[in-house]
Homo-oligomer: A and B are copies of this chain.
Amino acid sequence: MTEKLGEFEIIKTYFSPLSRSEKGAFNLTDDAAVIEIPDGHSMVVTTDTLVENVHFLSKDSPQNIAAKLLRVSLSDLAAMGSVPAFYNLSIATKLGTTSDWFKAFAEGLLADQIQFGVTLIGGDTVATSGPLTLSLTAMGFVEKGKAISRGGAKLGDDIWVSGLIGDAALGLRAAKGKLSSISEENKRYLISRYTKPIPQTLLGPKLSDYVNAAIDVSDGLIGDLDHICETSKLGADIQITDIPLSRAASILVTEKPDYIDLILSGGDDFELLFTADKSFRAVAKSLTKMLDVNLTKIGVMVRRRSIEIFDENGNEYFIKNNGYTHF
């Protein structure tokens, strides 16, 4: 009973206000939400689950945990070419979690609702004796027939990425205190890229008219490219020197070239990785201007069913821990 009492109060105080802009959420007081889908659109649905000390750290701020949870799913919606709209939220937390924690967590959600245009429409709050476990189901819309899957890459397609690659993996290292030879400013930058990735929610829907396959970079650049290759039944050639790096990442790689392995195989950048035919090159320039986002061609889809990575001398490069064959 205590749990239930807590649940209703928590929902009423902290979560109902997040549902205000959608009347079909019934202030989170009903059995389910009722939502309308715009004519001519399909619904896109994705679920991600984060566990304390597996996907985030106990010491992370509630605001950052909320942001990470929501953005991981928004990135999936973007990779399908859809516009985000709603989400349901499941929280399993220790009895006695303070109202301060819930308040800060809800603040984090609200900030992201405003930034990304999404609304909470339902969920569940339960007690657990274990680590904080958060699951979020995000829903978006895409014009019928316009969703971008992983399996549509074509032979000869250029391979593109948005933004900068590798920062999140380096940021996780930095957060763990394992990047000593770096300025405080660069360290803060890298950590923020890990804790608050920015999903490409504006870019994704714009890509749906032009690209053949897309995925978000969550498992790592090469690991995610491998998902595209496997589903599309093709392989890829990647040029290391074409991979777009931040200034911080460039400095680290120059000092210690092995960091390139982390950049190739680390995850959590939540940039978009996609393939398109050559006509996209002109479109990329317009999109870059319109959305102020880097779009970089890093390779090409090939018939051979494997990924080959080439260094600045045209020699094949092998990732030392060979991370991606784990997939």
Q: Hey, which bits of chain A sit against chain B, CB under 8 A? A: 1, 3-5, 8, 24, 26, 29-37, 42-51, 53-55, 75-77, 79-80, 82, 86, 88-92, 121-131, 133, 135, 137, 139-140, 142, 144, 147, 149-151, 215-216, 219, 227, 231, 323, 326-327
B residues within 8 A CB of A36?
42-43, 144
Closest to A121 in B: B45
A128-B127 contact in complex given A33-B44, A42-B36, A47-B89, C-beta closer than 8 Å: no
User: Do the beta carbons of B55 and A126 come within 8 Å of each other?
Assistant: yes
A-B pairs, top 4 by smallest CB distance, nearest first, are: A130-B130, A32-B46, A90-B135, A31-B76
User: Do the beta carbons of A8 and B327 come within 8 Å of each other?
Assistant: yes
Closest to A324 in B: B1
The answer for the CA separation of A215 and B30 in the assembled complex, in Å, is 8
Identify A49's interface contact among B8, B80, B92, CB under 8 A. B92
Given contacts A32-B77, A34-B44, A90-B135, 15 further A-B contacts (CB under 8 A): A4-B326, A4-B327, A31-B79, A31-B80, A32-B45, A32-B46, A32-B82, A36-B42, A37-B42, A46-B122, A49-B90, A49-B135, A50-B126, A54-B127, A137-B137
The answer for the CA separation of A86 and B33 in the assembled complex, in Å, is 15
B residues within 8 A CB of A327?
4-5, 8
The answer for the CA separation of A80 and B122 in the assembled complex, in Å, is 14
CB distance from A288 to the nearest CB of B (A): 23
User: Do the beta carbons of A149 and B35 come within 8 Å of each other?
Assistant: no
CB distance from A272 to the nearest CB of B (A): 10
Closest to A204 in B: B31
A150-B37 contact in complex given A92-B133, A130-B128, A137-B88, C-beta closer than 8 Å: no
B residues within 8 A CB of A3?
54
User: Do the beta carbons of B124 and A30 come within 8 Å of each other?
Assistant: no
Closest to A230 in B: B29
B residues within 8 A CB of A55?
126
Determine which residue in A92, A129, A137 has the highest number of CB atoms from chain B within 10 A of its CB, and name it: A137
A215-B54 contact in complex given A47-B123, A130-B133, C-beta closer than 8 Å: no
Closest to A78 in B: B31
The answer for the CA separation of A225 and B3 in the assembled complex, in Å, is 19
Determine which residue in A30, A42, A129 has the highest number of CB atoms from chain B within 10 A of its CB, and name it: A30
B residues within 8 A CB of A151?
26, 29-30
Identify A1's interface contact among B26, B34, B131, B326, CB under 8 A. B326
User: Do the beta carbons of A30 and B149 come within 8 Å of each other?
Assistant: yes
CB distance from A231 to the nearest CB of B (A): 6
The answer for the CA separation of A122 and B137 in the assembled complex, in Å, is 10
The answer for the CA separation of A323 and B1 in the assembled complex, in Å, is 8
User: Do the beta carbons of A215 and B45 come within 8 Å of each other?
Assistant: no
B residues within 8 A CB of A91?
49
